[in-house]
């Protein structure tokens, strides 16, 4: 895995998984949810505050397609005080979805953790890794839901 970044959903946000990826020579970018309550309580406060405080550590993007709009606002902070193997940065993405008229109809907040340092991944790169991961998840959705696999 040398030089590669493994991305995974919250089910794989485990100490053993992170350590195995690092031991194999790679880096990780993991989604964090309530399955890791203690870790989530450490991460969330590091990413709190008004948007104006995050100008240098933020990436925003907007997409239109598939009869909807999506706005994503990602914040990144150093993983200071985080008790997780090789954690370098934490991130939070707020996603707003809506119709093509721009009216927001949904909001989702996703937290994550990565071993990538700020020298190796800035907010735009972290956002790209996260988006690339969801391309994989969308194929799982088709297989799991559409084909009842």
Per-residue pLDDT of 10-48, as tens digits, reads 899 999 999 999 999 999 999 999 888 999 999 999 999
pTM: 0.85
Query: What is the DSSP code (8-state) at residue 121?
Result: -
Long-range CB pairs of 122-125 (<8 Å, 24+ gap) are 122/59, 122/76, 123/57, 123/58, 123/59, 123/74, 123/75, 123/76, 123/91, 124/59
Give domain limits for the chain: 5-54+75-90+111-146
pLDDT band at 140 (very low <50, low <70, confident <90, very high): very low
Range 110-134 average pLDDT: 92
pLDDT (tens digit per residue) in 41-89: 999 999 999 988 998 999 999 988 888 899 999 999 999 999 999 999 9
pLDDT of residue 19: 97
CB 117 within 8 A of CB 132: no
């Amino acid at each position: 895995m040398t030089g590669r970044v493994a991305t995974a959903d919250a089910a794989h946000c485990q100490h053993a998984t992170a350590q195995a990826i690092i031991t194999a020579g790679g880096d990780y970018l993991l989604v964090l949810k309530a399955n890791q309550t203690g870790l989530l309580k450490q991460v969330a406060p590091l990413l709190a505050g008004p948007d104006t405080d995050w100008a240098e550590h933020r990436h925003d993007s907007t997409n239109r397609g598939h009869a909807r709009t999506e706005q994503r606002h990602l914040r990144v902070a150093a993983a200071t005080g985080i008790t997780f193997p090789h954690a370098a940065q934490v991130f939070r993405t707020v996603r707003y979805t809506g119709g093509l008229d721009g009216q927001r109809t949904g909001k989702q907040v996703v937290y994550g953790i990565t071993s990538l340092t700020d020298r190796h991944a800035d907010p735009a790169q972290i956002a790209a890794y996260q988006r690339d991961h969801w391309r994989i998840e969308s194929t799982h959705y088709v297989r799991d839901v559409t084909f009842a696999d």
